[in-house]
Structure 1
Amino acid sequence: MYKILDLSALLLYCAFIFWLSDQTKLPDHALVENQDKLDHFLAYFAMAAFAWRYFAHFSVPRHWHLVIVAAFCSIYGLSDEWHQSFVVGRESSELDWLADSLGGLCGSLSCYWYARRSAAPRSAR
């Protein structure tokens, strides 16, 4: 049951990212220089958390789990940038993909660290 819920959450989040990428123009909310790179990083950091929950249902070593989630986020980011190249008013960017990949990697590392810390015996902390 939880596997289906976690898959649904991941797919809905991916659909949301796809929908955002399909918009001709997004609202300008720049608080810092290169705000769009920060947005990409944070979006894929969150995607890594959804992906971590889903892929946790498969019995693979935790370090492979980290690689799988980071790769999933990077590949989805690459496909998203390719999709954006066809949207009028939008452009594809290697730097956006790099921000996506780094966000996915950092999110994966954070989930890995949290899962490892949660699994450690209390006396080892």
Structure 2
Amino acid sequence: MRPLFLVLALLHMGLLWWLSDQPQTGLGLPHPWDKGAHFLAYALLGLLLRLGLGRFPLAFLLGAAYGGVDEYHQSLVPGREAFGLDLVADALGAFVGAKAGDRWEAPKTSRP
């Protein structure tokens, strides 16, 4: 477990929560670009969780679950809606980000 990456993941989650809490102003990204933004945001979260936790399944599941919680939260904000495709983009992003974390890990070698 690496605390720095966990702190960065928590800060990123806070930023995502704050962005979801903003009332819709009509200045958001048009479809389908908004799905790309969801994908990238949750790919970063998946990567940070993977590097912080050291385990792919846990990082992916936490990232995807947070996407669900955040979409529900967004549905309660006036002028905002939750979309199933946003949740799919969140989960795919968390998956790709957590998988990308595998490449950043030092290879495990056995000692003679």
Please classify the TM superposition score into its range, dividing by the shorter chain length.
Answer: 0.7 to 0.9
Question: TM-score of the superposition, structure 1-length normalised?
Answer: 0.77
Q: Which residue of 2 aligns with 1:62?
A: none
AA aligned to 2:36 is L
Question: TM-score of the superposition, structure 2-length normalised?
Answer: 0.85
Determine which of 47, 51, 54 is the counterpart of 2:52.
Answer: 54
Q: Which residue of 2 aligns with 1:25?
A: 24
Alignment of 1:35-54 (within 5 A): 35-54=33-52
Q: Which residue of 1 aligns with 2:85?
A: 95
Measured against aligned partners, the alpha-carbon deviations of 1:6-50 in whole angstroms (never above 9, x if no partner) come to 3221111100000000011263345xx500100000000010121
User: Greater Rg, structure 1 or structure 2?
Assistant: 1
Contact 2:50 2:98 in 1 (8 A): yes
Aligned-residue Cα RMSD (Å) equals 1.8
In structure 1, how many angstroms separate the alpha carbons of the residues matched to 2:32 and 2:5? 32
Residues paired across the two proteins, number = 107
AA aligned to 2:87 is W
Instruction: List runs of 5+ in structure 2 lacking aligned partners.
Output: none
Q: Which residue of 1 aligns with 2:69?
A: 79
In structure 2, how many angstroms separate the alpha carbons of the residues matched to 1:45 and 1:97? 13
Q: Which residue of 1 aligns with 2:107?
A: 119
Partner of 1:88, secondary structure, is coil
Could you list the structure 1 runs, at least 4 aligned residues long, displaced by more than 6 angstroms after superposition.
Answer: none
In structure 1, how many angstroms separate the alpha carbons of the residues matched to 2:108 and 2:53? 20
Partner of 2:76, secondary structure, is coil
AA aligned to 1:28 is G
